[in-house]
């Protein structure tokens, strides 16, 4: 579902506050209205000697969002998927669920969008009361799609997916990632903007509200560098 994430309040941070052994206050939990879906459960744990965040979705939706206006250009982390969302299919609205996602939100100006996209963004911001980002790039672990797949969110072109771990990747094993946010932005949104706008926030999450399924995964060592 569309990542309706409010930006975390508080002072700007060049680096990300920790998620474990405790979730730092800079991370703000954002979900859907209770009548839409219960919140995804986030819990700091130690797994195989690694301090990590446990993300468990059960017909639920939830993100943790950290404001990083003007933040760095390289995002790194480790993650591990134990149980994917069985019926997930990001090409459709009915299957628009992700067991593990790490997202970068960019302050793309509305002037870069086609006319109708600008109108929809203004409406979404008005209805939500939030300064929603006009460009969100989400890295995902999805066993149903090949690694390297780039596709738009089924609900909105304002969010685009890049599959990092996909078909054939073993479950229940840690994988390390290191991403150049500028290069990935241009790959995902270069059709709208030849320049990379400022970064607004980093978000992580898991959801299974559309398929009414469940998932379990872990994220550790999330870091943002210049």
Handedness of CA 79, 144, 1, 85 (dihedral sign): negative
Going by pLDDT thresholds of 50, 70 and 90, the confidence category of residue 13 is: very low
Q: Would you list the domain boundaries of the chain?
A: 28-225
Tally of residues, the chain: 226
Going by pLDDT thresholds of 50, 70 and 90, the confidence category of residue 45 is: very high
Q: Beta partners for 177?
A: 77
76-80, 114-118, 152-156, 222-226, range with greatest mean pLDDT: 76-80
DSSP string, 83-95: E--TT--TTSSTT
Using CA atoms, how far apart are residues 16 and 22, in angstroms rounded to an integer? Answer: 13
Q: Please, which residues have CB within 8 angstroms of residue 161's CB and are 6 or more apart in sequence?
A: 90, 98, 138, 139, 140, 142, 149, 150, 151, 152, 153
Using CA atoms, how far apart are residues 25 and 21, in angstroms rounded to an integer? Answer: 13
For residue 55, which phi and psi values (nearest 5 degrees)?
-120, 115
Distances (CA, A) of 111 to 121, 127, 160: 11, 20, 19
pLDDT at residue 5, rounded to an integer? 37
8-12, 70-74, 92-96, 190-194, range with greatest mean pLDDT: 92-96
pLDDT (tens digit, 9 = 90+) per residue, 91-107?
999 999 999 999 999 98
Give kind and range of the element (H or E) at residue 79: strand 74-83
Residue 29 has pLDDT above 50, yes or no: yes
Q: Report the CATH number of the 28-225 domain.
A: 2.60.120
pLDDT at residue 110, rounded to an integer? 81
**Residue 81: which of 185, 200, 184, 175 has the closest Cα?**
175
For residue 61, which phi and psi values (nearest 5 degrees)?
-145, 140
pTM: 0.89
Going by pLDDT thresholds of 50, 70 and 90, the confidence category of residue 8 is: very low
**Residue 152: which of 141, 142, 138 has the closest Cα?**
138
Residue 84 has pLDDT above 50, yes or no: yes
Using CA atoms, how far apart are residues 144 and 161, in angstroms rounded to an integer? Answer: 13
Average of pLDDT values for 113-138? Answer: 80
Q: Which two tokens stand for residue 130?
A: 């939030």
pLDDT at residue 181, rounded to an integer? 97
């Amino acid at each position: 579902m569309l990542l309706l994430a409010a930006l975390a309040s508080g002072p700007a941070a060049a680096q990300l506050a920790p998620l474990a052994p405790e979730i730092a206050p800079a991370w703000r939990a954002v979900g859907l209205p209770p009548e839409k879906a219960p919140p995804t459960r986030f819990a700091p744990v130690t797994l195989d000697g690694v301090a990590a965040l446990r993300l468990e979705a059960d017909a639920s939706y939830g993100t943790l969002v950290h404001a990083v206006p003007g933040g760095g250009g390289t995002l790194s982390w480790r993650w591990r998927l134990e149980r994917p969302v069985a019926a997930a299919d990001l090409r459709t609205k009915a299957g628009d669920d992700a067991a593990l996602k790490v997202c970068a939100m960019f302050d793309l100006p509305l002037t870069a969008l086609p006319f109708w996209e600008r109108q929809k963004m203004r409406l979404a911001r008005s209805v939500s009361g939030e300064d929603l980002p006009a460009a969100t790039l989400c890295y995902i672990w999805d066993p149903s799609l090949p690694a390297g797949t780039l596709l738009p969110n089924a609900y909105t072109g304002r969010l685009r997916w890049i599959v990092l771990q996909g078909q054939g990747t073993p479950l229940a094993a840690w994988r390390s990632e290191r991403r150049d946010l500028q290069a990935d932005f241009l790959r995902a949104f270069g059709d709208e903007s030849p320049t990379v706008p400022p970064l607004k926030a980093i978000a992580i999450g898991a959801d299974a509200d559309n398929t009414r399924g469940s998932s379990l995964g872990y994220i550790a060592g999330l870091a943002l560098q210049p």
